Amino acid sequence: MRFRLLKKNFIVFLVVLVVFIMLFYSIRRTRDEANVDVTEKDSTQTAVMGKFEFGTIQNMRKSIYDSNYRQIIQNGDKFPLEPEAVVVVQVHNRPAYLKMLIQSLEKVDGVQNTLLIFSHDYFSEEISNMVKGITFCRVLQIYFPYSIQLYPNEFPGQDPRDCPRDISKEDAIKKGCLNAEHPDSYGHYREASITQTKHHWWWKLHFVFERVQVLRGYNGYIVFIEEDNYLLPDFHKYLKSMIEVKKTSCGDCDVLALGNHNGLSGFHELSSKTETAGWLSTKHNIGMGISRELYYKLMGCNTAFCTYDDYNWDWTLQNLSGTCVSKPLKVLVARGSRVLHTGDCGLHQKEDCRPEKSQERVDAALKEAQSALFPPILTVTDHGPVEHQPHMKNGGWGDVRDHTLCINYAARL
């Protein structure tokens, strides 16, 4: 009798245990399925968030904020190693020249070890798709959030209440236009399209050194170029060689200039030669290699840069050299340029753009220079004077609104 009772209790226990196990696995399966649904939902939301919306100004503003915050690295899985070089491209709205630049980048030996950063102040699907088509290295796109495209009828765009460019200050005050009290050094009032390039350049410098997450801990040079530049196939190797020359032969050099404005004239003779000089905007503003050390020097001149009445970033930089930056900037220059300028139109020349002719000229020059690429060693052949070079400011930057916005980039990235 007692045995039968124990047997009955044991069977009941087994039934309860089986039910409990089935219930446990049922609950776990439901929870796992729910987690999968949540993950899939999050992935879908992430994909939607990652898409740049071009439809309206408001959509573009939101997309720019999201993209600059999230900083998605294109081709990151394909090229997982830390970059050996970083190249930053300032992009406006010349897709034909940008296409030429991208084609040149693809031919650079060692480009797979480079991080390319495209900094945009004009937003279009054509340009976006062009950059998204890059598969040969890691790519990051950043977006200038104070573009005149985003503010077409208000500052920093052209507010209809702004003073006309050529009105006299007396008439401007009578008219009561917004910036009547602040013409430039030549009595002219601001033109938004003219001021944007300097704004973008200074914002980009801040953002790349301070906010690009993948560059935290990166202490190498960052090379700054523009959409109408063209890189030679040995650009990456030449940059590495130049850095070594800087270490051994020009320890006090502040800047690298991998390009010049002489094209490929005399390239066979000059390919392996470098020189040192004082930095000049007319000679050394193409393919600039900037270190974090120099960046911090320039940040000490934030107010001086942002209030100097010249709409050109490079002439402004030349003014800082030897004034706010007490020691004039010294540059190590490639005599055989590794960065070419292809643009035959731009800020001042709006018409008669012929990128196909530029491509023909580049192709012909490269064919001629091919055998002089990849020199085994570089030498320093000349040492020019390093001194402050004063110049007549160009104006176009007298409005205090431009000064204030520019100064605040350091805090409002």
- What is the distance between the alpha carbons of residues 328 and 306, in angstroms, rounded to a whole number? 19
| Residue 333: count of CB within 10 angstroms of its CB | 26
Contact 393, 315 (CB under 8 A): yes
Give φ, ψ of 345 to 5 degrees: -155, 160
Token representation of residue 314: 């490079």
Q: What is the pLDDT of residue 108?
A: 98
**CB-neighbour burial class of residue 392 (10 A; exposed 0-12, middle 13-18, buried 19+):** exposed
> Binding site residues for substrate, as ranges?
90-94, 121, 196-200
Predicted pLDDT at 37:
41
- Angstrom CA distances, 357 to 102, 260, 343, 369, stand at 17, 20, 10, 18
Angstrom CA distances, 327 to 55, 324, 349, stand at 48, 9, 35
Encoded amino acid at 157, one letter: G
* C-alpha–C-alpha distance, residues 55 and 124, integer Å: 10
Residue 261, phi then psi, degrees to nearest 5: -100, 25
Supply the pLDDT for residue 88: 98
Identify whether 355 is preceded by a cis peptide bond (ω within 30 of 0).
Answer: no
Would you say 153 and 178 are in contact if contact means Cβ atoms under 8 Å apart? Answer: no
Cα angle value 177/178/179 (rounded, 5°): 100
**H helices present in 107-234, as ranges:** 125-132, 169-175, 192-210
**Beta 114-120 vs 138-143: how paired, if at all?**
parallel
Of 239, 255, 51, 211, nearest to 119 (Cα)?
211
Q: pTM, whole model, 2 decimals?
A: 0.86
Q: Residue 355 has what pLDDT?
A: 84
> What integer pLDDT is reported at residue 321 of this predicted model?
97
What integer pLDDT is reported at residue 14 of this predicted model? 55
- Whether the CB-CB separation of 356 and 348 falls below 8 Å is answered with no
Residue stretches of the annotated binding site for Mn(2+): 228, 341
Residue in this structure with the two tokens 């226990």, named with its chain if needed = 13
* Integer Cα distance of 205 and 195 in angstroms: 16
What pLDDT does residue 350 have? 54
Distances (CA, A) of 98 to 29, 228, 329: 52, 6, 30
- What three-state secondary structure class fits 330? strand
Q: Under CATH, domain 60-344+355-411 is a member of which superfamily?
A: Spore Coat Polysaccharide Biosynthesis Protein SpsA; Chain A (3.90.550.10)
The SS3 assignment for 44 reads helix
Amino acid sitting at position 164: P
One-letter amino acid for residue 269 of the chain? E
**CB-based contact 189:167 (threshold 8 Å):** yes
Residues 232 and 375: beta-carbon distance below 8 Å: no
Grouping H, G, I as helix, E, B as strand and the rest as coil, residue 112 is helix
Please check whether residue 202 is in contact with residue 188, taking contact to mean a CB–CB distance below 8 angstroms: no
What is the domain partition of the chain in residue ranges?
Answer: 60-344+355-411
Q: Which residues of the chain have pLDDT under 70?
A: 1-50, 345-352, 412-413
- CA dihedral (53, 54, 56, 58) in degrees, to 10, reads 50
DSSP three-state, residue 209 = helix
Known binding positions? 90-94, 121, 196-200, 228, 341
